[in-house]
């Protein structure tokens, strides 16, 4: 009777409105929901407004799911805006096709080596760069990097694909493509350039020199809340539009993309015409977003999850958590920031709180809590280190770190197991399980040097504050500790 639960069998499948695919100019590694709800929307709008061959070849590095869902609808999909007062669908046509790297690595390398491709964008999450978050350096022992050095024609990592494709372009006498990272990493262009050049140097020092001299790795700041799409979202959209889209993306109304305007030969879509902020220095915007949004998002995720809150909007609807979040901004985060020109940090955080409170955005605390080992250094620990140096308070952020430590122990406040999704999950649980008491568990986890820089891990004030917070979580629970610290 139905193709999907709740969907009529005769519902027509979404298709490309004019039947015309855009000519590709971009390859995107990691074609997940965020990029399809953010970067691809901007690129689609830029082509509509100013023309240019900037179609996107999407690459799924591991699984075929996205290709298999999008291919029957000719690679178009719906971006559904979830506003507090209603929902607005829009069909996005910028994706030309989707390749699956594990199925055909040669096809991916050939696409990236095509002279028509002038930009390679990435959203592979923080862990996808095979680097050590505490240093930013390439993790040369990472299994994917070890593999990529031994198998030049079949990389596994995004970094491996970048290096091998750039190697092919250099050997063919072509210009390099611009590498545009769209992940939440501080100085993301610099970090990605560093790991690419380090891997290239292990292969051929002359290749590393060419990439360093001729390539471009602009830094960016991206911002839009994109909750995971659920089956009921697909059913609701089908009822709204009368067509079946099995791979829509949900997003909030707000969006922001700040891009360092440094591209190989100046080749890029007309991003400025559709609201992208093209600047010479992304750093003030990046610090503001990583610390104000991502820092509080992670804090609310760990503490909110432990307190039994399913989503961010549920969490900040709790008055104690609302006070705690605003205290983090007011006393621990904003005092250490330099506002970008023309930006009021108080107005920015007020707007953030409104976004968090949007009941239409069901952004799960468990989803945000994923990959904490890769996120903590730039979202929270850098702020803590600066506050320690400057003599500013950090008790709220320390409570968030302690909540992460409790979370990776794998058991919540009611004794139920937590499904911890993190590349270091097994190691972190082992460290936690082998230690006794709040102080012992804190000391053990501070020993994870790939997360905690030695200077911070060895700071007695930080250690003592963390241990006190962890003990409070054990004795009183997250909700009570948030109430006390946020008061």
CATH pick for 2-279 out of 3.20.20.10, 3.30.43.10, 3.40.50.720, 3.40.50.300: 3.40.50.720
CATH code reported for the domain at 283-486: 1.10.1040.10
- From residue 108, give the alpha-carbon distance in Å to each of 104, 117, 349: 7, 12, 41
Q: Are 54 and 28 in contact (CB under 8 A)?
A: no
CA 27 – CA 121 distance, rounded (Å): 6
**DSSP 8-class letter at 219:** -
Sign, CA torsion 366/301/138/210: positive
**Closest to 367 measured CA to CA, from 290, 292, 445, 298:** 298
Q: Cα separation of 62 and 102, whole Å?
A: 6
Domain residues of the chain, as ranges?
2-279, 283-486
- Residues 92, 17 contacting (CB under 8 angstroms): no
pLDDT tens for the chain, residues 1 to 487: 244 555 555 799 999 988 889 999 999 999 999 999 999 999 999 999 999 999 999 999 999 999 999 999 999 999 999 998 899 999 999 999 999 999 999 999 999 999 999 999 999 999 999 998 888 899 999 999 999 999 999 999 999 999 999 999 999 999 999 999 999 888 999 999 999 999 999 999 999 999 999 999 999 999 999 999 999 999 999 999 999 999 999 999 999 999 999 999 999 999 999 999 999 999 999 999 999 999 999 999 999 999 999 999 999 999 999 999 999 999 999 999 999 988 999 999 999 999 999 998 989 999 999 999 999 999 999 999 999 999 999 999 999 999 999 999 999 999 999 999 999 999 999 999 999 999 999 999 999 999 999 999 999 999 999 999 999 999 999 999 999 998 8
């Amino acid at each position: 009777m139905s193709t999907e639960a709740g969907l009529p069998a005769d519902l027509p499948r979404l298709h490309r409105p004019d039947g015309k695919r855009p000519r590709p100019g971009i390859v995107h590694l990691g074609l997940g929901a965020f990029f399809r709800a953010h970067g691809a929307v901007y690129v689609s709008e830029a082509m509509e407004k100013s023309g240019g061959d900037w179609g996107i070849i999407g690459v799924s590095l591991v699984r075929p799911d996205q290709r298999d869902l999008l291919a029957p609808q000719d690679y178009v999909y719906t971006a559904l805006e979830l506003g507090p007062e209603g929902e607005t669908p829009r069909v996005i046509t910028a994706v030309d096709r989707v390749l699956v790297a594990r199925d055909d690595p040669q096809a991916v390398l050939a696409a990236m080596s095509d002279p028509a491709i002038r930009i390679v964008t990435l959203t592979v999450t923080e862990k996808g760069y095979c680097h050590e978050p505490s240093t930013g350096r390439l993790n040369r022992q990472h299994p994917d990097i070890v593999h990529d050095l031994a198998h030049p024609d079949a990389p596994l990592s995004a970094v491996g694909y970048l290096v091998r494709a750039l190697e092919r372009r250099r050997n063919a006498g072509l210009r390099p493509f611009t590498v545009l990272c769209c992940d939440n990493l501080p100085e993301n262009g610099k970090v990605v350039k560093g790991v690419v050049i380090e891997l290239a140097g292990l292969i051929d020092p002359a290749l590393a020199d060419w990439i360093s001299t001729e390539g471009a790795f602009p830094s960016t700041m991206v911002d839009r809340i994109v909750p995971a799409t659920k089956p009921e979202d697909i059913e609701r959209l089908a009822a709204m539009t009368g067509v079946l889209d099995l791979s829509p993306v949900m997003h909030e109304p707000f969006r922001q993309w700040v891009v360092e305007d440094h591209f190989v030969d100046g080749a890029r879509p007309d991003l400025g015409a559709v609201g992208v902020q093209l600047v010479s220095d992304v750093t003030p915007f990046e610090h503001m977003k990583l610390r104000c949004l991502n820092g509080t998002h992670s804090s609310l995720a760990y503490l909110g999850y432990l307190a039994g809150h399913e989503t961010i909007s549920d969490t900040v609807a709790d008055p104690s958590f609302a006070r705690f979040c605003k205290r983090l901004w007011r006393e621990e985060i904003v005092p250490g920031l330099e506002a970008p020109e023309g930006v009021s940090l108080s107005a920015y955080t007020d707007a953030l709180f409104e976004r968090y409170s949007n009941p239409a955005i069901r952004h799960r605390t468990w989803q945000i809590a994923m990959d904490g080992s890769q996120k903590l250094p730039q979202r929270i620990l850098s702020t803590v280190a600066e506050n320690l140096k400057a003599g500013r308070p950090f008790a709220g952020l320390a409570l968030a770190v302690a909540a992460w430590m409790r979370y990776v122990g794998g058991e919540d406040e009611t004794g139920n197991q937590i499904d911890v999704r993190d590349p270091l999950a097994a190691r972190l649980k082992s460290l936690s399980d082998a230690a006794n008491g709040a102080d012992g568990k804190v000391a053990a986890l501070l020993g994870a040097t790939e997360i905690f820089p030695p200077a911070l891990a060895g700071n007695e004030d930080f250690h003592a504050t963390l241990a006190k917070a962890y003990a409070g979580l054990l004795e009183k629970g997250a909700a009570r500790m948030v109430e006390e610290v946020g008061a």
